[in-house]
């Protein structure tokens, strides 16, 4: 007091110097991290979104030897309760598009470096969503069809929601790559929609797997060399170990693409 300067003892100076250096070190670790934040737009449906998140963790552990928390990329999962949408796909296009655009904007605001979407069908609005944000959105359609091309299959069977089949999202992308697409019948599509709603409600079982096997076998007999699971609910109802025809699991393909971008 009385205008006299106060001199801190050496131990205090050491403590504050150490504290400031520690803060700088932690800040440097955070800012210098090479990992990018993955923004996940989910909720279509919630179980399929949870499966995508699980695949990201599983693949990071298996392929990148992730162990400690810091080995995994940061992620922001935003599950939207999407109105105007059901097991068949898009019911109210204007309403769905509005919610999707709001969703990707929220992910951009969260600090995400790029976005992935746990649903094939809503990629019908891919261009609208991408135009609404400055960060890239990785297309599950592009990643899946690119892998089909790389593996040199020329005829593939397609299992999707009713909307995805009807608007031709996959057919158009595959045609550009010179790949022929075999589609299910209307009766088989109803079976697929039933499997999808069963997964959405968590009651999928042996009957769903049996029906999927029947559809896959029919496509194989028509000449399909492989099958695209073009709906993120379907990998929760059938697995590669269940059938002999090669499966392209769009959920796993998207997860691998996201990790390549996030970790390098």
Would you name the residues annotated as active-site residues? 119, 231
Is 42 in a helix, a strand, or coil? strand
Please give the full DSSP string across 170-191, using - where no structure is assigned. HHHHHHHTT-EEE---HHHHHH
Is 129 in a helix, a strand, or coil? helix
Enumerate the H helices of the chain as residue ranges.
10-31, 46-64, 93-109, 126-132, 140-150, 162-167, 169-176, 186-200, 206-221, 250-263
**Backbone φ/ψ region at 111: left (φ over 0), alpha (ψ -120 to 50), beta:** left
Spatial CA neighbour of 117 closest among 104, 106, 102, 105:
104
Is 127 in a helix, a strand, or coil? helix
Max intra-chain CA distance, the chain: 97
What lies within 8 Å, CB to CB, of 157 at 6+ separation is 181, 182, 184, 216, 219, 220, 222, 224, 226, 227, 228, 245
Write down the residue that tokens 């042996």 correspond to.
Answer: 206
* Paired tokens of 169: 């999202």
């Amino acid at each position: 007091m009385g205008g006299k300067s106060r001199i801190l003892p050496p131990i205090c100076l050491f403590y504050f110097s150490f504290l400031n250096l520690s803060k700088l070190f932690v800040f440097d670790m955070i800012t210098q991290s090479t990992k990018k934040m993955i923004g996940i737009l989910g909720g279509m449906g919630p179980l399929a979104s949870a499966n995508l998140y699980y695949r990201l963790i599983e693949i990071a552990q298996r392929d990148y030897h992730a162990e400690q928390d810091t080995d995994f990329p940061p992620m922001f999962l935003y599950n939207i309760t999407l109105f105007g949408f059901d097991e068949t796909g898009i019911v109210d296009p204007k309403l769905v598009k509005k919610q999707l655009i709001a969703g990707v904007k929220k992910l951009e605001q969260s600090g995400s470096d790029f976005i992935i979407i746990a649903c094939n069908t809503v990629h019908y609005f891919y261009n609208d969503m991408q135009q609404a944000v400055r960060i890239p959105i990785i297309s599950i359609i592009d990643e899946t069809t690119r892998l089909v091309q790389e593996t040199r299959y020329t005829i593939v069977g397609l299992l999707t929601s009713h909307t995805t089949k009807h608007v031709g999202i996959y057919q158009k992308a595959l045609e550009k790559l010179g790949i022929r697409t075999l589609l299910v019948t209307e009766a088989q599509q109803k079976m697929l929609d039933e499997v999808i709603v069963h997964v959405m409600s968590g009651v999928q079982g042996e009957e769903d797997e049996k029906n999927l096997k029947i559809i896959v076998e029919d496509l194989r007999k028509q000449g399909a060399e492989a099958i695209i699971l073009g709906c993120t609910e379907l990998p929760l109802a059938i697995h590669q170990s269940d059938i002999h025809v090669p499966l392209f699991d769009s959920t796993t393909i998207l997860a691998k693409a996201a990790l390549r971008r996030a970790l390098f």
